[in-house]
A and B are shown apart, each in its own frame.
Chain A
Amino acid sequence: MSSSLTLAPAPPSEAAEEVRTQVREFLAAEQAAGTFSTHVDTWLSGVDPAFSRKLGERGWLGMTWPKEYGGHERSAMERYAVTEELLAAGAPVAAHWIADRQSGPNLLRYGTEVQRQEILPRIAAGECYFVIGMSEPDSGSDLASIRTRAARNGDGDWVVNGAKIWTSNAHHSHYGIVLVRTGPPGEGPRGKHQGLTQLLVDLSLPGISINPIRILDGGHHFNEVVFEDVVVPGDMLLGEEGAGWHQVTAELAFERSGPERFLSTYPLLAEFGRRAADSGDAAQLATLGRLSARLLALRQLSLRIAAALDRGELPDIPAALVKDVGTTFEGDVVDEIRRVVEVTPSLDSPDPLDRALAEAQLHAPGYTLRGGTNEILRGIVARGLGLR
């Protein structure tokens, strides 16, 4: 098969297993103390700053970053183990998730020294949260068609006008990395990739309004973020003016590769495991086996990506592939389970399986959309296969 799709197997990591044990002990203690209860898809909906700060205190945020920026210089394999344990437990990780996963690494690659010194230690402490400011009302998959504009004023600052949408957790966050048009597009089919720029925007600036949009279960995670003559200081340019497209693409490789792309519905699978253990029902056990086999394959793929990141590679095409296969799995968990268990899904049910199923079902449309739809991802994979 085309080598751009396959990655070398991940070598076993003792350090990762060590930190995994520590996270498990921490989570068991927190659950015993009642500081959180398990939910599905908590990296979107489980906002809990106190919990995020506890993770920061234990050194489990900014794990792979240099110590001078508050990081811990640990491997991507160790970070993988930590994030995987948190997701499997359905812990409330949404507050810091984006900052730790992609905004921090983005700042490390492209940020100025001042930006890094100011912001990265606060992310690693679990105190500073980020949003992704990419999508707009008229620009989803065709991201390069965005219309939010920024122009320099006489003081060298940026004046931003436009609107971003689907901005997860903007109402709980401090900064956004906002993709804006700062120059005209170029010629040809890829010309629109020119003239795009990333800005680091303090969400408390005057002229920014954050309007809630409710998702299917009534939860408020989405927002519309409107910019009206927002003055962003000139030194808040991220990376290079006009290099926004390149930077966004690199950022998406981080966004797409992690265990949250197949574990969003794991708490439902865990609940189903309890049911199958109690019932001993043959069909349920077989379904558990089938779903587990798929999950185990996804883990291996995701581990291979973590190992590739440790080798300094940017495995964007395999990451797209894992996200496609993984998010499809997240939805299938719902369908497969309800085929073999009597259920009455309801968010109010006293039965934890009914509740988890309700949460997973109502979040299901999002799995294969966020971070680039599966159709777009398959296009990337097709390119890896040499078809385009």
Chain B
Amino acid sequence: MASDQDLVVETVRDILAGHEPFALTAERPWDAGLWADLAEAGLTGVGLPEEAGGSGGELADAIAIARTLAAGAAAVPVAEQLLVAGPALLAAGLDLPSPEEPLTIAVEGAVTAEPVDDGDGPGRWTLTGTATDVAWAGVARHVAVLTAAPEGIEGAVLALVDTEGLATSDARNLAGEPRGSLVLGGAPAAGALLTPARAGEVRARYALARAVQLAAALERVLAWTVQYAGERQQFGRPLGKFQAIQMELAEMAGEVTAVTALVDAAVQTLGRGEDVVLAAAAAKVRAGAAVEVVARLAHQVHGAIGFTQEHKLHHLTRRCWSWRDEAGSELTWSRVLGVGLLTEGGDGLWPALTRVV
């Protein structure tokens, strides 16, 4: 399908071609070289308006970039920056840091926010406590922290924290991507109060960003597996000629196609300014459910070679196994969706279903 995003996708692919994915370790927790190339090409500011310091372009461009990078198992915080933290800061009326410096989002943990008058005008907050499960902790220079507002105030605070000098723990997800904690030292930071609805949107955007990444990764896993089944020969035939293998690949294709259709539709709700929470919840849950089938069958078809770090498959399957429970677990978002569909009572389920996307 030709789309307006073909050019940006080509550019990202060209850059990716120069950076093979590698197994992430504590010593090498991200692909700094890839980030530098993406930043130099202006791709780390796409979808963020130029007047705010971004590179301009559409939301659809940012989505296309995140998809391409996810399919390439790129170890860079682009989805967090372009799809979640950047737009959240802008929507809250806060300044963006330079898009060349990696920016992430933190929504979990025990963080207290207090307003402070440090002489820098209104909208200054001190954040203390520990943000947990922070994607790219120790890698991202800035983090947009979403946390509860102080006692007596409804809603949440979103503040932009400079991570320079902050203590981080070295926790990593199943793919080795940094997911540590960040101990906030209480230095004043620019922040804004969000209504509960706006705070919910930030969380939903984060979940949707992971769903977008999952959709892209699952699509690529299917493509790799179809290709492998065409190349690997046993009993004198390519694996793909065996009906048992065809059934498995067809089942994978069904899952992947379903995920893509729903994630695409959920992304449209962002562009239309509709309530994104239930759409994001559904997309995240559906994508997560597909991981079970797609990763299991992909490994089954690849045999032992796919069970090694020598083969590329693990770069995506390990990410998928983690992403499905990040930005809110699959269980959490299933409940959010279940509850949200019943807000008008049991009889309102069908009308609610036809409104989500």
Contacts and interface: CB of A to CB of B under 8 A. Distances in A.
Contacts of A248: none
Contact of B341 (A2, A88, A292, A318): A292
B339 interface: yes
A388 B246 contact: yes
A387 B353 contact: no
A343 to B, nearest CB: 16
Interface string B252-279: 0111111111101100100000000000
A325 B255 contact: yes
Interface in B215-257: 219, 222-223, 226, 229-230, 240-241, 243, 245-247, 249-251, 253-257
A385 interface: yes
Interface string A87-127: 01100000000000000000000000000000000000000
B229 A286 contact: no
Interface in A285-322: 285-290, 292-301, 304, 318, 321
B349 interface: yes
Contacts of B189: none
Interface stretch (B23-31, B142-150, B314-322, B330-338): B330-338
A277 B261 contact: no
A276 B348 CA distance: 12
Contacts of B250: 321, 324, 377-379, 381-382, 385
Interface string A1-13: 1110110110000
Most buried by A among B230, B250, B341: B250
Interface stretch (A166-174, A200-208, A212-220, A267-275): A267-275
B121 interface: no
Contact of A300 (B241, B243, B264, B350): B264
Contacts of B281: 289, 293
B286 interface: yes
B338 A289 contact: yes
Interface string B271-299: 00000000001110110010000000000
Given A296-B357, A318-B257, A381-B250, A6 B262 contact: no
Nearest to A88: B350
Contact of B260 (A6, A266, A275): A6
A351 to B, nearest CB: 14
A284 interface: yes
B335 A289 contact: yes
Given A318-B257, A378-B250, A387-B249, A289 B334 contact: yes
B285 A273 contact: no
B356 A296 contact: yes
Contacts of A293: 262, 281-283, 285-286, 289, 334, 337
A282 interface: yes
B258 to A, nearest CB: 4
B1 interface: yes
A1 B219 contact: yes
A296 B264 contact: no
A342 interface: no
B152 interface: no
B259 A297 contact: yes
B354 A20 contact: yes
B258 A297 contact: yes
Interface string A224-261: 00000000000000000000000000000000000000
B253 A381 contact: yes
Contact of A277 (B243, B342, B354): B342
Nearest to A278: B346
A385 B238 CA distance: 14
A89 to B, nearest CB: 8
Contacts of B222: 1
B254 A325 contact: yes
A6 B245 CA distance: 21
B257 A6 contact: yes
B120 interface: no
B262 A282 contact: no
Contact of A321 (B1, B241, B254, B336): B254
B257 A301 contact: yes
Nearest to A290: B334
Given A270-B346, A300-B261, A301-B261, 4 more contacts: A297-B262, A297-B282, A381-B253, A387-B230
- For the complex of A and B, the 7 pairs showing the least CB-CB separation, nearest first, are A274-B346, A289-B334, A285-B338, A289-B337, A378-B250, A289-B338, A382-B246
18 contacts: A1-B260, A2-B226, A6-B257, A269-B349, A274-B347, A285-B339, A288-B342, A292-B353, A293-B283, A299-B357, A301-B261, A325-B258, A378-B247, A379-B243, A382-B246, A382-B250, A387-B249, A388-B241
